[in-house]
Amino acid sequence: MMRQYELVERVRKYNPAADEELLNRAYVYAMRAHGAQKRASGDPYLTHPLEVAGILTDLRLDDATIVAAVLHDTIEDTGSTREEIDQAFGPEIGRLVDGLTKIKKLDLVSKRAEQAENFRKLLLAIADDVRVLLVKLADRLHNMRTLQHVPAEKRARVAEETLDIYAPLAGRMGMQRLRDELEDLAFRHLRPDAHATIDSRLKTLRERNGHLIRTIEKELSDALSARGIQAKVVGREKQPYSIWRKMERKSLAFEQLSDIFGFRLIVGTLDDCYRVLGVVHTKWPMVPGRFKDYISIPKQNDYRSIHTTIVGPGRQRVELQVCTAEMNDIARFGIAAHALYKDGRVTDPETLAHESSAYKWLQQTLAHLAEGDSPEEFLEHTKLELFHDQVFCFTPKGRLIALPRGATPVDFAYAVHTDVGNTAVGAKINGSIAPLLSELQNGDEVEIIRADSQVPPPAWESLVVTGKARAAIRRATRGAVRAQYAGLGRQIVIRAFERAGKQYADESLRAALPRLARASVDDVLAAVGRGEMFSGDVVKAVYPEFREERKIARHQEKAEAGWFGMKSLSSLRFKVPGNGEAADHAIPIRGLRGDLPVRFAPNGGAVPGDRIVGILTPGEGITIYPIQSPALTAFDDQPERWLDVRWDLDGARRELFPAQLVVTAINEPGTLGTVASVIGEQGANIDKLTFVEHSPDFRELVIDLEVFDLKQLNAIISSLKSKNVVNKVERVNG
């Protein structure tokens, strides 16, 4: 176990001005608080917080963070309280310890909804101070190093949580060394056989190629020294988990991997990085397509380096990474290498956001918490951001946009601005028109073509790859659907007021909102449109003295009973207009592409020329039935769902409508061709055809059609009846 003086010395090594008295007090407090507590391994519990603090001293963190690491389990696992910590060590350290206590209570490997909510809480806990995350990552690393001492079931759960959440978070914060170790330890426990196999192959390869690696290191050093460049050449070996993941993703054998071993060339200045590149590309041929300049365009986790692959000594492919010492520190320690913790001080968030893209990403991710997405959507968004490699594209004005690999112009548009994505109708990639769902490549210049009337199609949601785009498309789709329901509700409410002989006004309805338990006029209208609220209740809320008369004149009842073929129409409230009959209170129906949530009777549909009635279905909008549909009897006792509707067709844009026929025809060669020819000659479209065999001589065909109107449908029926092979034709009426 680390001694008290050892902890102080480790901090003083990188921070001579460290508060020795504060560190000593924290050590003694934790030792007394944890007392005789033991870990699963049998070691004193105090060894754990001290090892966590030791990991953070390797990251050269400030005194407050080291003290918080020493104390991080005191509130959760001992009798200590937040107030005691604040009093003994100050509110800054108390706040850090409290944030870590909240994180410890989370279970990130659970049912999806619980996992999603807990993940939100995790990010909220680090919202005020990213040091909470750094302590938590160190805490998780030490727990993973000693995971063999916990029961097998818990071991698998913790390893899965590490691989799913904490390792990607470490990578997103640029802490690659910590991420590599977390992934390796989790992989070791989740897939022990695969880990052992890859580890064994690596050992064999290391022994076989040891001499070659030393030769490459020497030749690289000699070539650079000859040009006056001082460089430290460090060998790099790919981690077992990275090897396994690449083999799985690309279906490769171990022998097919060419980047298991690589070299990092650490030089003094930025200028030297590019001089090194000139030397190695002059001396050895480079492998085409394997050059990446992350100095000119850094990764979003602040990583900066030049990557290239050469055919080096012994005709071996050698991957090189060229960087300065500062870039190397950021590659290893990520956000902890920034000015955030230099000289024992803490940089303010605005300065940190300016210096660190990783911190800026974290702040943007936290901002999504305020956008009202469900926990599941937030988790999906964040995981998408965590797990993807990147491509870099440009706007026509030269702005750099970093996107996950596989991103499309739609993702690009939403990355520029949500309004740009919502109004996107086309794209130009490198000056040429391209589909909106094309896959973008590094260096593409993307121009988005927009139209203000555009609403993103719901299908886009499953085709984009960024969480921001998916969340925005969901919100826009929900907004468009809500607008449709609100539009329908407005028409229903206005007509309800007209029937009551009352004047409708938004101001009057707004004054009645408390009686309707809704926050806004749109909320009321959308609720009526969705069928969640009866329009008569809205009238009564505005005019409490109103009493609705639900009666139908005897002659009208008889006439309508003839149309509907119903047993009882005593509850029917609306007059149904006839074919071409005008009715001021009837809701106009244009078709499936109108601005109202409309669908047609599932069995038989309805076509212009039919007398129609609308049935309001909660959550689905209006279902349009022909007036003669026997299905309408099911709604006899639900008068509040009946709507007065009429056709309102756009003569400039003809639209097809659904209908269904049942054709009984002779079972002989050519019959189907005859039926299809009749339908085609009449200009209609067959959407679906089903055979029902009744006897060897006859077959029944159920045909779903798309026609323009009733006149065309009747012409098809007449033509079919005139054919010798057709015995009977009947239209299905819902």
Model pLDDT, residue 266: 94
What's the CA gap between 201 and 193, in Å, rounded?
12
Cα dist from 111 to 197, 350, 380, whole Å: 32, 36, 14
Q: Give the distance, in angstroms, between the CA of residue 478 and the centroid of all CA atoms in the same chain.
A: 15
Which stretch of DSSP H or E encloses residue 310? strand 306-311
Helices (H), 146-269: 152-161, 167-172, 176-190, 192-226, 240-250
Q: What angle do CA 514, 515, 517 make, to 5 degrees?
A: 60
CB 414 within 8 A of CB 472: yes
Q: Give the pLDDT confidence score for residue 653 in this predicted structure.
A: 64
Residue type at 216 in one-letter notation: I
H/E stretch holding 643: strand 642-643
pTM for the predicted model, two decimal places:
0.58
Tell me the two tokens of residue 74. Answer: 């005191």
Give the H or E element holding residue 102. Answer: helix 91-104
| Annotation marks residue 272 as catalytic | no
Q: What is the pLDDT of residue 1?
A: 82
Helical H segments across 105-166, by residue range: 112-125, 131-145, 152-161
pLDDT of residue 557: 35
Under a CB-based contact definition with an 8 Å cutoff, are residues 136 and 165 in contact? Answer: no
φ, ψ for residue 47 (rounded to 5)?
A: -60, -35
- HEC letters along 407-434: CCHHHHHHHHCHHHHHCEEEEEECCEEE
CA distance 241 to 190: 11
> Could you give all domains of the chain from N- to C-terminal order, each with its CATH number?
4-190 (1.10.3210.10), 198-337 (3.30.460.10), 388-465 (3.10.20.30), 476-542 (no CATH), 554-647 (no CATH), 657-731 (3.30.70.260)
In one-letter notation, the amino acid at residue 561 is A
Structure confidence at residue 577 (pLDDT):
40
Instruction: Let me know: does 34 contact 107? Beta carbons within 8 Å.
Output: no
Task: In whole angstroms, give the CA distance from residue 632 to residue 556.
Answer: 18
Catalytic residue among 43, 77, 329, 557: 77
Helix, strand, coil distribution of the chain in percent, nearest 5: 50, 15, 30
Cα separation, 30 vs 97, whole angstroms: 12
Q: In the annotation, is 506 catalytic?
A: no
How far is Cα 340 from Cα 17, in angstroms, rounded to an integer?
A: 16
- Dihedral angle sign, alpha carbons of residues 81, 83, 85, 88: negative
Q: How far is the C-alpha of 413 from the C-alpha of 472, rounded, in Å?
A: 11
Query: Looking at residue 600, what is its pLDDT?
Result: 86
680 CB-contact burial (10 Å; exposed 0-12 / middle 13-18 / buried 19+)? exposed
662, 665, 668, 673 alpha-carbon torsion, rounded to 10°: -60
What are the backbone angles phi and psi of residue 489, rounded to the nearest 5°? Answer: -60, -35
CA dist 593 and 599 (Å) reads 10
- Cβ atoms of 270 and 324 within 8 Å: the answer is yes
- 335 within 8 A of 130, measured Cβ to Cβ: yes
* pLDDT value at residue 516: 87
Q: Give the residues across from 404 on adjacent strands.
A: 390
Q: What are phi and psi of 372, to 5 degrees?
A: 85, 10
Return the pLDDT at 10.
92
What is the C-alpha to C-alpha distance for residues 338 and 331, in angstroms, rounded to an integer? 11
126 contact partners, CB below 8 Å, separation of at least 6: 99, 103, 132, 133, 136, 362
CA angle 715, 721, 723 (to 5 degrees): 110
Q: Which of 43, 58, 76, 86 is catalytic?
A: 76
Amino acid at residue number 25: R
| CA dist., res. 494 & res. 525, Å (int) | 10
Structure confidence at residue 345 (pLDDT): 57
pLDDT of residue 633: 83
Angle between helices 375-387 and 467-499 (to 10 degrees): 150
From the number of C-beta atoms within 10 Å of its C-beta (0-12, 13-18, 19+), residue 47 rates as: middle
Long-range contacts of 476-480 (CB under 8 A, 24+ apart): 476/422, 480/455
**286 exposure class (CB count in 10 Å sphere: 0-12, 13-18, 19+):** middle
Q: How far is CA 434 from the centre of its chain?
A: 24
State residue 589's pLDDT score: 65
Q: Compute mean pLDDT per 10 residues along the chain, 734 residues long, and list them.
A: 89 89 93 90 91 91 91 88 92 87 64 59 68 89 92 87 84 86 93 91 84 84 90 87 86 78 90 93 88 87 90 80 92 71 54 65 62 56 55 81 85 91 91 90 87 83 84 84 80 82 87 87 85 83 74 35 32 37 56 65 85 79 84 79 76 78 88 90 89 80 89 90 89 80
550: left (phi over 0), alpha (psi -120 to 50) or beta: beta
- Do 115 and 157 contact (CB within 8 A), yes or no? no
- In this structure, the chain runs to a length of 734
- Spatial separation of the C-alpha atoms in residues 530 and 616, rounded to whole Å: 8
